[in-house]
Amino acid sequence: MSGNPKRRIETDVMKLLMSNHDVQLINDNMQEFYIKLIGPKDTPYEGGLWRLHVELPDNYPYKSPSIGFVNKIFHPNIDVASGSICLDVINSTWSPLYDLINIVEWMIPGLLKEPNGSDPLNNEAATLQLRDKQLYEEKIKEYIDKYATEKKYKAMFGDSDDMTSDEDISDDNVDVIVNDEEEEEEEDEDVDVDGEELSDLSDIELSDDEDQDQEDSKI
């Protein structure tokens, strides 16, 4: 499944691009991109939106990708300042059998559902999770309201859906449409002119025939 690193990178990234996930390549580089992560349902993170920054090393998948949160999240195993993630499965126990879909759909959502308080990067979050679950969940919601609502996400990173709106029709396309309509009108005018010319010719021919008939009658 691993094969040549370059081919494996292309294969895994293409699978991700063709999935339902929002993926944005950085400078069209398949080894560095952003992914929109939606908070898992039935967890305190439901309703939140986070941007993940992903970098693939040259020897991927033999070496694990580098992944971090861009906007802040309150979680025992995620550093608030850097967004670094402490997760064995994408660090010490990484396997070439894993791919990017596994990370986005299974590993990171699994970490949000079941934090590991014994190996924290955020001591405050780890302490609250163990001692005061209600306050822990309130703190998560507080961070979502500050950094990870849909409105805050769009303000920070924009919205890729806007790229496909009707307003994105270029001026060049509009010019083409206008020019096509003008050409059609000119063609219609040409047809009308040709019809008038044919009508005038017919009148001339009829007039010539009448003059000839009159001359014949005189004879």
Instruction: Give the torsion sign (CA, 109, 55, 125, 154).
Output: negative
pLDDT for residue 160: 61
- ∠ CA 15-16-18, nearest 5°, is 65
Q: HSE on the CB side for 2, CA within 13 Å?
A: 13
Residues 54 and 32 sit within 8 Å (Cβ to Cβ): yes
Q: Which of 93-97, 105-109, 187-191 has the lowest mean pLDDT?
A: 187-191
Q: Report the 10 Å Cβ neighbour count for 73.
A: 24
Average pLDDT value for residue range 119-136 = 96
Task: Reply yes or no on whether the pLDDT at 32 is more than 60.
Answer: yes
Task: Give, in words, the CATH class of 5-165.
Answer: alpha beta
Q: What integer pLDDT is reported at residue 69 of this predicted model?
A: 98
User: Span 79-108, mean pLDDT?
Assistant: 94
The full length of the chain comes to 219
Catalytic residues: 86
Place of tokens 């939606």: 38
Q: Using DSSP bridges, classify how beta strands 66-69 and 29-38 pair: parallel, antiparallel or unpaired.
A: unpaired
pLDDT per residue as tens digits for the range 133-160: 999 999 999 999 999 999 999 999 987 6
Q: Domain limits of the chain?
A: 5-165, 169-219
pLDDT, average across residues 180-196: 45
Residue 181 above 50 pLDDT?
no
| Residue 91 pLDDT grade (very low, low, confident, very high; cuts 50, 70, 90) | confident
pLDDT, residue 119, reads 86
CB atoms within 10 A of CB 1: 9
User: What pLDDT does residue 35 have?
Assistant: 98
- pTM: predicted TM-score of the whole model, two decimal places: 0.72
pLDDT for res 2: 52
What are 167-171's contacts with CB under 8 Å, separation 24+? none
**Residue 3: predicted pLDDT:** 64
Using the predicted structure, report yes or no on whether residue 211 has a pLDDT greater than 70: no
Average pLDDT over residues 49-64: 97
Residues near 25 by beta carbon (within 8 Å), at least 6 away in sequence: 13, 32, 33
Q: How confident is the model at residue 118 (pLDDT cuts 50, 70, 90)?
A: confident
pLDDT at 17 over 90: yes
